[in-house]
């Protein structure tokens, strides 16, 4: 079987901590040949560690797009450049895996979907939490009908004090937002996936800038309040066209006792489910609840896994999710099948996040156009 040839644009933490180790685990399916970053030293270092024999480094991503031997581009750059680079790569005939968030605005996300469908190139987004065994278990339970129709859900992306102090995370101009666009997308993606509901009617949002000048106690070290230009927390309420609802909460800094990141609460007609972080562990605990024999029953299967997160070396834990994400993506291209995370699904996530920001700014709900 012919291997896919990969080019990667942006060689910061997410590329070297997730994408490249994940791809390296599938050396039978791909070679990484193009490494691009505006810091050529980063590109050269990644090339030496992960590159094929004919790999090269560059500071110009258009060099990768012009390379006819490259089949696939991974976009791992600042959020504000995702749409531009992804669309250019699709136009150049490349398949694209774009790191989350898909884009800054719903309009850009829709443009990416249109470009993918028009060019016939595959487009997916890096929502690796779908690949965690706990979430795979819960999705199977949903598909088996154990929850019935999920009509109310919550998407949790809450840290007590977990502001990332490296890179450009706190720079709104480059990132487009803070915890909502950074963490919130993972939780919203999971909730929509479980609900199998992408028909949004309206979104109402609130965004807070209350703790940006209070860096004490941050688990990743103090940040500079002078350069903190994003929100510290955000909340949203999503109504779907069939009457279902989704509550969204996202924070890097919020005075709560416990963090709950990339987790969900699901309420269905036959049962419910929760995912929570296990204290002192990167594992998730899945809880299912229903009625059996006339009694309320709660069960928690043993499906824990360690997961990819800041501060842990590549592939030391979760990272099975990173490996599975890469393998599933590569096989979708090679077999010409849909990726697990479709571009249309990811676009709805971005539309919801964009609408929360917009609603917070205007004080009015954002009403979605009827399909």
245-285 pLDDT, tens digit per residue, is 999 999 999 999 989 999 999 999 999 999 998 877 777 89
Fold of 4-129+325-342: Rossmann fold (3.40.50)
- For the chain, where do the domains classified as CATH 3.30.360.10 start and end? 132-313+348-367
Note the pLDDT of residue 316.
Answer: 34
Note the pLDDT of residue 2.
Answer: 85
Please, what are the averages of pLDDT over each run of 10 residues along the chain (371 residues)? 92 95 96 98 98 98 98 97 98 98 98 98 97 92 97 97 92 95 97 98 98 94 94 98 98 94 97 89 87 93 54 49 95 98 98 98 95 59
DSSP state of 365: P
Counting every residue written for the chain, the total comes to 371
Rounded Cα distance, 362 and 104, in Å = 18
- For the chain, where do the domains classified as CATH 3.40.50.720 start and end? 4-129+325-342
Note the pLDDT of residue 194.
Answer: 98
- The kind and range of the H/E element at 109 are helix 106-119
Note the pLDDT of residue 1.
Answer: 56
Residue 353, token pair as written in the block: 């996040």
Note the pLDDT of residue 307.
Answer: 45
- In angstroms, how far is CA 101 from the centroid of its own chain? 6
The total of other beta-carbon atoms located within 10 Å of residue 1's CB is 6
CA distances from 18 to 158, 192, 201, 315 (A): 22, 23, 34, 8
Domain 132-313+348-367 has CATH 3.40.605.10: no
Q: Assign 290 to helix, strand or coil.
A: strand
Note the pLDDT of residue 323.
Answer: 93
The pTM score is 0.94
E runs forming strands in the chain? 4-9, 30-36, 56-58, 72-75, 95-98, 123-125, 150-158, 200-208, 233-240, 245-251, 260-268, 272-277, 284-292, 295-299, 366-367
């Amino acid at each position: 079987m012919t291997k896919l040839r990969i080019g990667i644009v942006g060689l910061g933490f997410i590329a070297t901590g997730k994408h490249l180790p994940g791809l390296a685990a599938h050396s039978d399916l791909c070679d990484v040949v193009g490494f691009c970053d505006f810091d050529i030293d980063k590109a050269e270092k990644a090339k030496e560690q992960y590159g094929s024999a004919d790999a090269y480094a560059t500071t110009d991503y258009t060099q990768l797009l012009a390379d006819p031997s490259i089949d696939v581009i991974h976009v791992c750059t600042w959020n504000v450049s995702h749409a531009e680079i992804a669309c250019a790569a699709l136009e150049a005939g490349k398949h694209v895996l774009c790191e989350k968030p898909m884009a800054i605005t719903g309009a850009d996300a829709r443009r990416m979907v249109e470009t993918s469908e028009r060019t016939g190139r595959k487009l997916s987004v890096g929502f690796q939490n779908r690949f965690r065994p706990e979430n795979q278990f819960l999705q199977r339970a949903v598909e088996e009908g154990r929850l019935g129709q999920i009509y109310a859900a919550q998407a949790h992306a809450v840290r007590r004090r977990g502001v990332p102090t490296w890179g450009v995370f706190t720079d709104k101009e480059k990132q487009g937002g803070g915890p909502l666009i950074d963490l919130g997308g993972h939780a919203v993606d999971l909730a929509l996936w479980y609900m199998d509901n992408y028909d949004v009617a309206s979104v109402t949002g609130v965004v807070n800038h209350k703790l940006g000048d209070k860096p004490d106690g941050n688990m990743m070290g103090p940040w500079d309040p002078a350069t903190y230009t994003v929100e510290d927390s955000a909340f949203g309420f999503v109504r779907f066209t069939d009457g279902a609802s989704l509550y969204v909460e996202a924070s890097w800094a919020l005075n709560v006792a416990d963090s709950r990141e990339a987790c969900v609460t699901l309420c269905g007609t036959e049962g419910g489910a929760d995912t929570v972080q296990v204290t002192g562990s990167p594992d998730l605990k899945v809880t299912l609840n229903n009625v059996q024999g006339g009694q309320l029953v709660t069960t928690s299967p043993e499906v824990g896994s360690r997961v990819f997160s800041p501060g842990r070396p590549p592939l030391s834990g979760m990272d099975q999710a990173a490996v599975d994400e890469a393998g599933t993506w590569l096989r979708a291209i090679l077999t010409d099948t849909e990726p697990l995370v479709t571009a249309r699904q990811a676009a709805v996530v971005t539309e919801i996040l964009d609408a929360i920001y917009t609603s917070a700014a205007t004080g009015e709900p954002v009403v979605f156009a009827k399909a």
